[in-house]
Chains A and B, each alone.
Chain A
């Protein structure tokens, strides 16, 4: 029994955490604020600075990384559990909104991840964006993202989480559409925003339903209530849980709401690396972790459905990476697939497994994207058909990319192996054997498409134009900085083994208010680990057999795509087309119809009534006033003429007469009421 493990009893949830306050905890909120300050500062003065405000953005994340790392280490050695909140609104006695920061195993893991990976990517971006446009805006929006993400992961309650959640969505919209001169990029940003907004309906309604039913939006209190079963919620918890999951499906790109993520690759590559691979898209998985006790103790009925969606995502979307030519799209589909792994694990009950994969994936996927960015920078194209043979010109990029690929493929002893294995184990232990085999098959697919990507990009002959060069040090050093954890961080959680003195990842995550009830293995399951590893090696071998040989022409390459699945995969299972068809086919006509109703139905009643009244007025006026014979003729004529002629008078200047008469009448009425009554 580790000294960090939770000692929770049914009576009270005593938590043995060495640290519950002190300088680093009390000031942790600085991490949530600094990037936002940087955002404003860059907007204000970025244009005038040497590196267009990158200095400010990096400075903020460097300070943040200090906090993130110190807390991470403190949590490893002593365990940290605390929460700081302050009230921002109170309605009556029941409804309270708070902001603040939670400091526990889960949030500390994310503080470390977001800040450290963020810092590395920011530094890389200085090189990547060097000659680009609007660099100040780039770093401003990137800082806005970092701040929002930290608000999200630090959130002590659902309300603050929603604030951060929408904040990262906003930054994502800005950065996907960063090159907004081209409408294709704008549309990609819109698509991301709208798909997420649809999912957010689930998040917001789920938050309302659960918050009101449990009586709090606070995660710690919610967890405790769920663990206690102190609130007999029944169906409410299931509906609320399902709605929250729907929200998570949007941000974490689960089938069929994954369609925005591949399009999101329109943004600059560092954005893809940090936001659309390493951190932002894991927000849904993180949310599942935050409300895990809810699913564990109250809403477990939703779990099989969640597992199913995760399983579809991890396998079916992974296949799409087999046929993509755009290297960023390969990685994007891969990200969706890996998010599927994480979500499946969380859904099945593998708390540690899902979050550990989130952790390792952040490093190797960021590494792969940054490597892809270096390549794209060198060849000025995203398409692998314009690449090939780059291993000679770009050795550092090549070797780090290979490390990332092997880690992603799940090759022993790299980080990806351990975290993927943990997921397979969790699926098996929770009884999802079939899904476990899908996971193993997915490992084969992953290894296959990554081999293809490496072969097409770095092996064979160069097919592009010009002479590609290795990226500058400001870009390759971050690659190395990410390659090291991609190799080593798997050892944080080797089953049945603790790093002497500091325990292991599952214990660090175990610093929380209630037990999560997840199961993880006490020793390596050799058969399962071997199966997963075998699938990955098989994928690499087959991939190399097909793609290792240089094929000069596209037609030649095409013959080796999976022929039967080819049209289906190239068309992305037609999900995008379906979504486009639905929106284009309904929203436009419906909107135009509503507008038509407004102008021709409702307003016609109004105009008709006005016209009738006016006709009546003209008639009375004409009869009463003998000099207005002309008016009678006109008025009656207008009546016969229909609506048109009445409005003609508006144009011929008579409006002033009517207006004057009308205003006079109205004034008389007012005077009457005011002074005579």
Chain B
């Protein structure tokens, strides 16, 4: 058991990378071996993460204590360590990541987009997995940054190589470009833009963390420093701003979101799924793991601004959805709205709100991931994503249509399905935000957020009406469509089951998160902090 304790997290992070290397030496022609290796590695990482759940101590350890911790010296000169650990907040996200990766590999089994090449694609997926899992586990800012950035490259290539080849007119410009190229570059630049600032913020924290020789990148140590009030004033403001830019781009928060619809629309199906299901969570996770604990006072003074941006995102994203004609782009925009609820939850700075954010992230991962699977499979069959050409899908592919209807309902936050809790509890949190925060702002946010749920329903019904219902168009007459195949079914059924289970029994998530979050809020917003908030503004 000792051995498992020390090696589990490292395995989860680096098994996929090892798998990528292994796939690298398997000949391209042996597709079966390539896919088998990919699946094996993804399943192995998932199984280890289940082992972590089995061994996890759910007894309510105080915040800033981590389990399965590994802490080894790495770059001595700057005191950066190879430091991994998991707690109640990262556990659900870690398992989400390893879980969705398995489904993605299963799905891609016979869904290869042009130019095919499973070998390279699998390698990219597995590198991506290492980056994603690593980000959720890193407890050292340098390590966090590297994993955060590692994610970029494979996604860049996925979009750029396997992405949508159709021409896209860039609004405001006369010329058309290939969608995938525009989207890939935009995605890369945007995120890099954000993370450059984030890195500056990390470095600033490092230099402020102590005298030369005692400086640290360690997140737990910086959290302790932050809780004791080490970072304040203009310094804290600038650092928070820098990290905010990094995380907000990734979430994405309005108005830094415009890379997302393009990237999602252009990406190959599996790319979209991983992007939506896991990658977007890196940003909101960064807020919870780094920004809040290390700079609590600053976070509290940013909270109203974050709440306002979040609510703009909810309303704006939903309205934009209503104007879409491209099914995949609609689903992409829906992420802006859903992640708005996540950020609203975080902005309340309460245990309820942060719990809401975490379950919202998991739910969004499952639901929007599934939506992108569906959108991919449908455009694969129809060779179009234009909703005006679709319609009557229930007639052509009833099972696919049924799953789409289910997922759309989950996405609009139907109570009893996973999406409800994040939205509902964000609103609860916004009614009673952290003491000292402006009730006016947050209660307005609550009302607007609730109105946002109406708009969400509107665009999801619009999607169903356009795609699923009515008579199929003339052009599909006599066309034989293959309904959901077994690989799709295998990849989707677990998602469906989880969406229902979490919907009726959210404790499966809260069991892990509640104690950590409650103690996090206790620790960083103790009475002193709150008092200084009240007086200092």
Interface residues of A (CB under 8 A from B): 87-92, 95, 97, 99, 159, 162-163, 165-167, 170, 177, 180-181, 183, 186, 190, 193-194, 197-198, 200-201, 204-205, 208-209, 211-212, 587-588, 590-592, 594-595, 598-600, 602-604, 606-607, 610, 643-644, 647-648, 650-651, 655, 658-659, 662-663, 666, 670, 673-674, 677
Q: A99: nearest residue on chain B (CB-CB)?
A: B504
CB of B170 within 8 A of CB of A607, answer yes
Which residues on the B side are within 8 Å of A658 (C-beta)?
185
Query: Does the CB pair A651–B454 fall under 8 Å?
Result: no
B507 contacts A87, C-beta separation under 8 Å: yes
- The reply to whether A88 and B505 contact each other, CB–CB distance below 8 Å, is yes
Output the nearest chain A residue to B461 by Cβ-Cβ distance.
A190
Q: Is B514 interfacial (CB-CB < 8 Å)?
A: yes
Residues 349-406 of B at the A interface (beta carbon under 8 Å): 351-352, 355, 392, 394-395
The answer to whether residues A651 and B175 also contact, given A91-B355, A602-B255 and a CB cut-off of 8 A, is yes
- Nearest CB in chain A: distance from B440 CB, A: 15
Chain B residues with Cβ under 8 A from A177's Cβ? 469
Nearest CB to that of A196 among chain B residues? B457
Partner of B320 from the list A90, A190, A201, A591 (CB cut-off 8 Å) is A591
* Contact among B153, B174, B504 with A644 in the assembled complex (CB-CB below 8 Å): B174
| Least distance between B503 CB and chain A CB atoms (Å) | 8
Q: List 16 A-B contacts (CB under 8 A).
A: A91-B514, A91-B517, A92-B351, A159-B415, A163-B416, A167-B416, A180-B470, A181-B395, A194-B454, A595-B320, A606-B190, A607-B172, A607-B173, A655-B181, A662-B185, A663-B156
Of the residues B174, B392, B415, contact of A167 by C-beta under 8 Å: B415
Count CB-based A-B contacts (< 8 Å): 186
Whether A595 contacts B450 in the complex (CB less than 8 A), given A212-B431, A644-B174, A650-B182, comes out as: no
B258 at the interface (CB under 8 A from A): yes
Q: How large is the interface on B (under 10, 10 to 19, 20 to 34, 35 or more residues)?
A: 35 or more
Which of B104-112, B294-302, B421-429 forms part of the interface with chain A?
A: B421-429
Cβ–Cβ contact A91 & B510, under 8 A: yes
Q: Which residues of B contact A674 (CB under 8 A)?
A: 142, 146
Q: Is there an interface contact between B428 and A208, defined as CB atoms closer than 8 Å?
A: yes
Closest to B469 in A: A180
Q: Report which residue of B142, B192, B258 has the largest number of chain A beta carbons within 10 angstroms of its beta carbon.
A: B258
Q: Are A592 and B172 in contact (CB under 8 A)?
A: no
Q: Given A97-B506, A180-B469, A599-B171, check contact A209 B431 (CB 8 Å).
A: yes
Q: Are B258 and A606 in contact (CB under 8 A)?
A: yes
Q: Is the CB of B160 within 8 A of A659?
A: yes
Known A212-B428, A594-B323; contact A90-B409, beta-carbon cutoff 8 A? no
A87, A212, A610: the one within 8 Å of B189 (CB): A610
Q: Which residues of B contact A165 (CB under 8 A)?
A: 415
Interface pair B177/A651, CB less than 8 Å apart: yes
Q: Which residues of A contact B152 (CB under 8 A)?
A: 666
Per the bound structure, the CA–CA distance linking A670 and B146 in Å amounts to: 8
Residue B66 lies at the interface, judged by CB distance under 8 Å to chain A: no
A90 to B421, CA, bound (A): 12
| Contact present for B394 and A180 (CB under 8 Å) | yes
CB pair B465 A186 closer than 8 Å: yes
With a cutoff of 8 Å between Cβ atoms, the chain A residues found around residue B450 in the complex are: 201, 204-205
The answer to whether residues A591 and B319 also contact, given A88-B505, A193-B461 and a CB cut-off of 8 A, is: yes
In the assembled complex, the CB of A662 is this many whole angstroms from the nearest CB of chain B, namely 7
Asked if B453 and A181 make an inter-chain contact with CB atoms under 8 angstroms apart, the answer reads no
Do the beta carbons of A89 and B471 come within 8 Å of each other?
no
**What chain B residues lie within 8 Å of A655 (beta carbons)?**
181, 185
Instruction: Known A166-B416, A181-B470; judge A600-B78 contact (CB<8 A).
Output: no
B479 to chain A, nearest CB (A): 18
Q: Other than the known A607-B170, A607-B173, A677-B142, what 13 A-B pairs have Cβ atoms closer than 8 Å?
A: A183-B470, A204-B427, A205-B427, A208-B427, A208-B446, A209-B431, A599-B172, A600-B172, A603-B172, A644-B174, A648-B175, A650-B182, A662-B185
- Say whether A592 contacts B323, CB under 8 Å: yes
B residues in contact with A595, CB < 8 Å: 319-320, 323-324
Bound Cα distance from A651 to B170, whole angstroms: 12
In the complex, how many angstroms separate the beta carbon of A87 from the nearest chain B beta carbon?
7
